[in-house]
Every structure is written in C-alpha cells, then in structure tokens.
Amino acid sequence: MKPLLESTYAIGDRAELTRIWNEHGYWFFRNVLDRDALQRLKDKFMAELKELGAIDADAAEPIWNGKPLDAVPSTFTTLHQLHAWQTFVKEAPIKAFFEEILEDELYWLPMDYYRLVAPRPRDKVELYIGNHQDGMSNYGLEFEICWIPLTDITEALGGIVLATGQHKRGWMEIIDGKAVFTKGGPIPDDCWARADYHLGDVLIFCKEMPHYGLGNRSDRFRISLDIRAARRSGPLPVAGKVLHIATDAVTIRNEVDDTVVTLTLDANTFLRGPGRPNPVPITLAEVATALPAGSDVLATRDGARAMILRPQMY
C-alpha cells in the first residue's frame, strides 16, 4: 500500500494547498496540532480505558492488559457526555490552526466519533472494515472530515486508509451490503494509501473520499477522534432541539443562528433515528416516537423541506 502524501510543506501557500486538495482530495499534516491540547484530550480517553479496566491504572499509553474486552465499547458515551471534542476545538491553538487551513470561521457539526478499536491480535482481522464515503447519506451537508490520531498508529494498529484521487468519481452505491462504484469499475488497488500516524498529525479529507479502517493486530488500543468542520460562509445545517414533530413537519430551535425553523417532512426526506454506533433508518410513521420533542437533531433543507433529519451524535 502506498504512503499518503504529506502536505505540511504547503502550509502558508494557498495555491499549493488548493492544488493538492483538488488533485488528491485530502491534506495530511505532520506534527501541527498543539501537543498540550492533544494530551488533555488523550488523557480523557485513557481515563475511560482505566475505568473500564482495559489498561493498567498507571499506563501512559493504551496498552491492553489482557483482561476481557467484552465491556469495552467502540465509542465512548462518557466522552460524549463530557463534550470532550467541543472543549478540544475551542482551545486557542487548535481553533487557530483549523481556521487558517480551512480559511473560514468554522461550525463543527454535532456528529462525532470517539474512535476506539480494540486489539484483536489472535483473530483474523478483515482488511476492509466499512469502506464508505462520509457524504453518502448526508445529503445537503457540506463539511470536511478531520481525523486526529491520539497515539502512535503503526500498520499493526491499523488506522485510516484513503482511496486517493477517487473522490472525483461521484457517490458509491450499496450493493449486497457493500459500498461500490457501479460505473467505471472497482477502486484500483494502487489508489489505497495510509501512513504511520503520530500525536500531532491530522488528516483532513473531503466527504466524497472513499475510505476504511484497518483492523488492529497490535497489543494496544487504537484511539483517535473523527470530527467534521463546516465553513460558516457556506451552507449550514439546522441543528438543535426539537420543539414539535409530526409525520409531516418538524420545528427545531436552531443553535446555528438562534432561530426557530419549521421544515416539512415527506417520503423523500431521509430519516434516521438513534442507534449505535450510527443512526438507523426510520419511517415517517416512526419519526415522532424516535425523535420526540426535546431531541437534539441535525437537518438539511431544500427551501422549507427537510432533506435529512437525524439525531445529533456527541
């Protein structure tokens, strides 16, 4: 598998950054994020692993202590409740870096993934784990994905793999439970790229980029943060608490601009209800029960019609 191309040299050169993005669909920056802010975030992951008994109480790295993994989740509910990523992106050096790179004030979408992949050294770990594009089912959402490793991630630990350059082919389709391009043939083997990731690195890529996660064949947990940034100068979603909902409409107090928004729902609205690790499809008949008043939701709109309506994830 080929290495990801590093973009660190292009920081400060907007023309070169634009060229890289258009051609490859991603930026891979080495050692650019503030270490103190990262360590504070990592400490929260480590505290959760210690509470679960999966690593030793004095561990400085997420090395598995060999205890059963049954109680270890794939994402951390506690970190959601602590709003760990929201605190992280507000830290001054983190905020400044992302706003410089993305050339805008940012709205961070309330959909995040505190990634934890447990070690499975004795298992047969499948190479492809969930090949997909993050924009496939998020119609109308404009965002970039920011994937941040919180420990050193070698090939044995796995990590994210991109199909570089394949972001220009449009959307994949789900066939027999797998995401594939139905035109132009499969993704060529020589497009796949990865790197050994380290604390301080960040991988930013577009929502059209096919990607997957490698399995973890190591002796430790793989921990990372996956968050999505939207430029405030571009189209933004409706996000906030449901005030009223029925089978034909939803009213939301929109935290993005402090307004109250009513959107119609119809057979073409893509509806999803609560689920882990991802929201699950629901019907119009189920929507008022699945997303009742008081629910935190995310919606996109075409005029006054909702294109998608789904739970927030944080």
Average of per-residue pLDDT across 235-259: 97
Cross-strand partners of 200: none
Looking up residue 122, the CATH number of its domain turns out to be 2.60.120.620
How confident is the prediction for the chain on average, in pLDDT? Answer: 92
Let me know whether 279 and 214 are in one domain. no
DSSP state of 70: T
Let me know whether 119 and 253 are in one domain. no
pLDDT of residue 181: 85
The least confident of 11-20, 87-96, 104-113 is 104-113
Average of per-residue pLDDT across 277-295: 94
Q: Does the reported pTM lie above 0.85?
A: yes
CA dihedral 63, 66, 69, 72 (to 10 degrees): -30
The least confident of 88-92, 194-198, 213-217 is 213-217
pLDDT of residue 127: 47
The least confident of 26-30, 64-68, 181-185, 257-261 is 181-185
Looking up residue 271, the CATH number of its domain turns out to be 2.40.50
pLDDT of residue 72: 82
Let me know whether 200 and 293 are in one domain. no
d(CA 299, CA 254): 10
Last residue of a domain, one of 231, 264, 295: 231
Residue type at position 105: E
Residue 186 banded pLDDT, cuts 50, 70, 90 = confident
Token pair for 68: 């059963």
Judging by DSSP bridges, how do beta strands 192-194 and 222-231 pair with one another?
unpaired
pLDDT of residue 129: 55
Let me know whether 137 and 153 are in one domain. yes
Let me know whether 225 and 256 are in one domain. no
Let me know whether 153 and 203 are in one domain. yes
Let me know whether 105 and 199 are in one domain. yes
pLDDT of residue 262: 99
pLDDT of residue 155: 92
Let me know whether 99 and 143 are in one domain. yes
Structural domain for 9, as ranges: 2-231
Let me know whether 153 and 28 are in one domain. yes
- Note the pLDDT tens digit of each residue in 47-93: 999 999 999 999 999 999 999 988 787 667 788 889 999 999 999 99
Last residue of a domain, one of 175, 206, 231: 231
Name which residue leads in pLDDT, 280 or 73. 280
Name which residue leads in pLDDT, 133 or 247. 247
d(CA 244, CA 257): 19
d(CA 18, CA 8): 13
Cross-strand partners of 58: none
249 pLDDT more than 60 = yes
151 pLDDT more than 70 = yes
Place of tokens 């602590």: 82
Average of per-residue pLDDT across 270-289: 91
The least confident of 4-18, 48-62, 180-194 is 180-194
Q: How many domains does the chain have?
A: 2
